[in-house]
Amino acid sequence: MRVVLGVSGGIAAYKAASLLRRFTESGHDVTVVPTEAALRFVGAPTWAALSGKPVATDVWTGVDQVPHVRIGQQAQLVVVAPATADLLAKAATGQADDLLTATLLTARCPVVFAPAMHTEMWLHPATQANVATLRARGATVVEPAAGRLTGADSGPGRLPEPEELYAACLAAVGTAGGQGSLQGLRVVVSAGGTREPLDPVRFLGNRSSGKQGVALAAEARRRGAQVVLVAANLAVPAPSGVTVRTVETAVQMEAAMTAEVADADVVVMCAAVADFRPRSYAATKIKKTHAADGSDDSAPVIELVRNPDILAGLVRDRARRGSGLRPVIVGFAAETGDASGSVLELARAKLTRKGCDLLVANEVGVDTTFGQDSSTVHILSADGRPARTVGPAGKDVVAAAVWDEIGGRLRAH
Ligand code: CTP
């Protein structure tokens, strides 16, 4: 994605350097446009070195390229971080006296402002009116964080952390292109929990309701994808507009996934797949033995065998086909954390073990995540970027964040 990072003159300009890294490490092409005042806080060499591009503040550098028009026109996202009170005022009133403000007037892509200033300036009716004007025109204005400001004072006005800003940028692009951002793509999502039958009336199962997978399928559909939902024992209805393939067991799910991913662009393994199944299936109901004197209290021993690891198999098949990053493969992990590691540590190890591109780690407990309407997840990327934490939030919010991450990956490659 072609990103313009505008930096205006506030102390928080140093944090914009981390935001710039976040974008470049994800494969985005970033042009930094600082204001003159911003360069008093962080100099041009820093921006040039981190972005790998020359940096200009005025409209007179490289004038043959008409930069005051071209940079804005070609941008797919403009983010201004930090946005000072002065910059917000200029943007709201359409002034264009330097390269950044001119770029804001020519951009037709999503625009994100991340204000940072003292609390008094932020709360002043003039600033609030400017923010309202920018939002009414469709820009995203991120709420500043509350906390310690430049001096000893504290209150709302801090620039949010780079990771949060990055998420807001992806969300703005996702929202702007939301309705059609996955148009033309074929997506396969597995959902629910497999059941491994013991006899005609019993099975080994798990607590998965399928809500998260259904939310992912619905969101992909909303963004324009053609969606196949491989559904195992859902406790909620499948969304409309998606093709549903119903399965019960892990082995059936493996067969359905293998068939469906052949021409898919993205595959998301959200289902809770049983790792084991009973070695044998009793064709008739397993009965208690009935000793005449009632003395027999024996119980059968159920022998289990391993189920296929579907996700690992999909990764292996892709490597065998040599189809690069198609499909993008996303796994989920249900982790409680234990003596051997935290949720994040276990998830990072699982991401490596499974070899998928993204891993969405759910924090689970008996009363959390399974069957609930909200959850907390960490989205980990195989390229080693820091994890993005979402929630506690509704499963639809988690679904949107996961598709934003996948969308970013699809655009970057
Ligand atoms: N998965 C799979 N096939 C299996 C087990 C899991 O495809 N037999 C997928 C899940 O859909 C999920 C990911 O692997 O995307 C991780 O599932 P999880 O149950 O957390 O991991 P396991 O591999 O089962 O590891 P463990 O139980 O040791 O934590």
For a substitution probing ligand 1, which of 273, 364, 369 has the most ligand atoms within 8 Å of its CB?
Answer: 273
337 CB neighbour count, 10 Å cutoff: 15
Q: At residue 173, what is the residue type? A: V
186-279+299-412 has which fold? Rossmann fold (3.40.50)
271 lines ligand 1 (CB under 6 A): yes
Q: Does the pLDDT at position 63 exceed 60?
A: yes
Binned at pLDDT 50, 70 and 90, residue 388 comes out as confident
Quote the pLDDT of residue 272. Answer: 96
Please give the average per-residue pLDDT across 295-309, as a whole number.
Answer: 91
Q: For the domain covering 2-173, report its CATH number.
A: 3.40.50.1950
Determine the distance separating the centroid of ligand 1 and the alpha carbon of 196, expressed in angstroms: 15
Q: At residue 74, what is the residue type? A: Q
Binned at pLDDT 50, 70 and 90, residue 171 comes out as confident
Quote the pLDDT of residue 366. Answer: 52
Determine the distance separating the centroid of ligand 1 and the alpha carbon of 236, expressed in angstroms: 22
Four-residue CA torsion sign, 355, 356, 360, 365: negative
Q: Where are the domains of the chain?
A: 2-173, 186-279+299-412
258 lines ligand 1 (CB under 6 A): no
Please give the average per-residue pLDDT across 384-395, as a whole number.
Answer: 79
* Fold match, 2-173 / 186-279+299-412: yes
208 lines ligand 1 (CB under 6 A): no
Binned at pLDDT 50, 70 and 90, residue 369 comes out as low
Distance CA 192, CA 209 (A): 6
Catalytic site residue 130?
Answer: no
Average pLDDT, the chain: 90
Q: Name the residue at shortest CA distance from atom 14 of ligand 1.
A: 311
Binned at pLDDT 50, 70 and 90, residue 176 comes out as very low
Binned at pLDDT 50, 70 and 90, residue 324 comes out as confident
In tens, the pLDDT along 233-284 reads 999 999 889 999 999 999 999 999 999 998 899 999 999 999 999 999 999 9
Please give the average per-residue pLDDT across 375-387, as a whole number.
Answer: 86
Binned at pLDDT 50, 70 and 90, residue 175 comes out as very low
Q: Does the pLDDT at position 371 exceed 80?
A: no
HSE-CB of 235 using CA atoms within 13 angstroms: 16
Quote the pLDDT of residue 58. Answer: 85
Q: Name the residue at shortest CA distance from atom 24 of ligand 1.
A: 275
Q: Does the pLDDT at position 177 exceed 60?
A: no
250 lines ligand 1 (CB under 6 A): yes
Determine the distance separating the centroid of ligand 1 and the alpha carbon of 109, expressed in angstroms: 39
In tens, the pLDDT along 114-156 reads 999 999 999 999 999 999 999 998 899 999 998 877 777 788 8
Report the atom number in ligand 1 closest to the C-alpha of 330: 15
Please give the average per-residue pLDDT across 58-69, as a whole number.
Answer: 82
pTM of the entire predicted model: 0.63
Q: Name the residue at shortest CA distance from atom 4 of ligand 1.
A: 309
Q: Does the pLDDT at position 170 exceed 90?
A: no
346 lines ligand 1 (CB under 6 A): no
Quote the pLDDT of residue 340. Answer: 85
Q: Name the residue at shortest CA distance from atom 20 of ligand 1.
A: 333
Q: Which of 206, 233, 307, 362 is catalytic?
A: 206
391 or 168, which is more confident: 168
331 or 400, which is more confident: 331
Determine the distance separating the centroid of ligand 1 and the alpha carbon of 270, expressed in angstroms: 9
For a substitution probing ligand 1, which of 309, 315, 316 has the most ligand atoms within 8 Å of its CB?
Answer: 309
Q: Does the pLDDT at position 370 exceed 70?
A: no
Quote the pLDDT of residue 173. Answer: 80
Determine the distance separating the centroid of ligand 1 and the alpha carbon of 77, expressed in angstroms: 36
83 lines ligand 1 (CB under 6 A): no
